[in-house]
């Protein structure tokens, strides 16, 4: 199975246009991606996120889990994982 | 650290000045850009100096110096923006995925032509953006 390039950390909402545009942008780049809901990011984020080459922190707060969102950002910062937040 | 903006940016298009020598400036290959906002909140100006002291670099600012893009210079790629994707131009959102991050000059060479289309053009004011109000906001 090919590795998934990008984890989009956020709580996907199909009615949120920017969430749909994020999907479109990554699809256009032919980058594989998966959404990881903020409340699925565990206390040890590497357990859930280590398989991804980069993280995109999605907009729309309040997140279901602010702790999960911050843990993911911290994981990327401390481990040198590419991250973009919009 | 995060505070309500004095003026909501929901539905706004605004110019962003890209600060020389930053990764953001290299990626855009431009000195400014126009971006779309959906935000009611931003970084509290009272905390900017403290964030900078901690290693965060401000790489894009608004017309009055407001913080718009930040990055970590000592990180392979760590960047955050106050603005967001927009449907007409989804391709501009590009993640330098996966492996080593090229130096800013190489990144600019590969991304510049695409992002250059986003450069703001003096003398061509943009019409106000259609107002789009998500149920939730950043």
- Using a CB–CB cutoff of 8 Å, tell me whether A77 touches chain B: yes
Place of tokens 């994981």: A75
Using DSSP's 3-state secondary structure scheme, residue B68 falls into strand
Question: What domains can you pick out in chain A, each with its CATH number?
Answer: 6-85 (3.40.50.20)
Residue A81 has which token pair? 């994982």
pLDDT score at B85: 66
Q: Is B76 helix (H, G, I), strand (E, B) or coil?
A: coil
> What residues in A contact B81, CB-CB < 8 Å?
84-86
Q: Per-residue pLDDT for chain B (138 aa), expressed as one digit of tens each?
A: 888 887 788 878 889 999 999 999 999 999 999 998 888 888 999 999 999 999 999 999 999 999 999 999 999 999 999 998 665 554 444 433 333 344 444 444 444 444 444 444 444 444 444 444 443 455
Q: How far is B123 from chain A (nearest CA, A)?
A: 28
Sign of CA dihedral B4, B9, B11, B17: negative
Domains annotated for chain B, with CATH where assigned, are 2-116 (3.40.50.880)
Model confidence over A67-84: pLDDT tens digits?
999 999 999 999 999 999
Contact with chain A for residue B126, Cβ under 8 A: no
CA distance A18 to chain B (A): 6
pLDDT tens digit sequence for A3-50: 689 999 999 999 998 899 899 989 988 999 999 999 999 999 999 999
- Enter the tokens of residue B119: 């450069």
């Amino acid at each position: 199975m090919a590795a998934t390039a990008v984890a989009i950390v956020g709580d996907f909402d199909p009615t949120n246009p920017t969430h749909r545009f994020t999907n479109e942008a990554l699809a256009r780049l032919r980058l594989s991606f998966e959404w990881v809901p903020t409340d699925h990011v565990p206390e040890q984020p590497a357990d859930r996120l280590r398989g991804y080459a980069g993280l995109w922190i999605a907009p729309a707060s309040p997140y279901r889990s602010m702790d999960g969102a911050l843990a993911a950002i911290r994981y990327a910062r401390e481990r040198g994982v590419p991250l973009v937040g919009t | 650290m995060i505070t309500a903006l004095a003026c909501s940016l929901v539905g706004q298009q605004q110019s962003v000045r890209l600060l020389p020598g930053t990764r953001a400036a290299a990626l855009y290959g431009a000195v400014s850009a126009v971006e779309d906002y959906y935000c009611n909140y931003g970084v509290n100006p009272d905390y900017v100096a403290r964030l900078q002291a901690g290693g965060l670099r401000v790489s894009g600012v608004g017309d009055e110096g407001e913080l718009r893009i930040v990055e970590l210079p000592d990180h392979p790629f760590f960047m955050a923006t106050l603005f967001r994707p927009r449907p007409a131009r989804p391709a501009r959102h590009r993640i330098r995925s996966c492996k080593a991050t090229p130096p800013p000059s190489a990144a600019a060479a590969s991304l510049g032509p695409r992002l250059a289309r986003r450069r703001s053009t003096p003398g061509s004011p943009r019409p106000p953006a259609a107002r789009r109000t998500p149920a939730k906001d950043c």
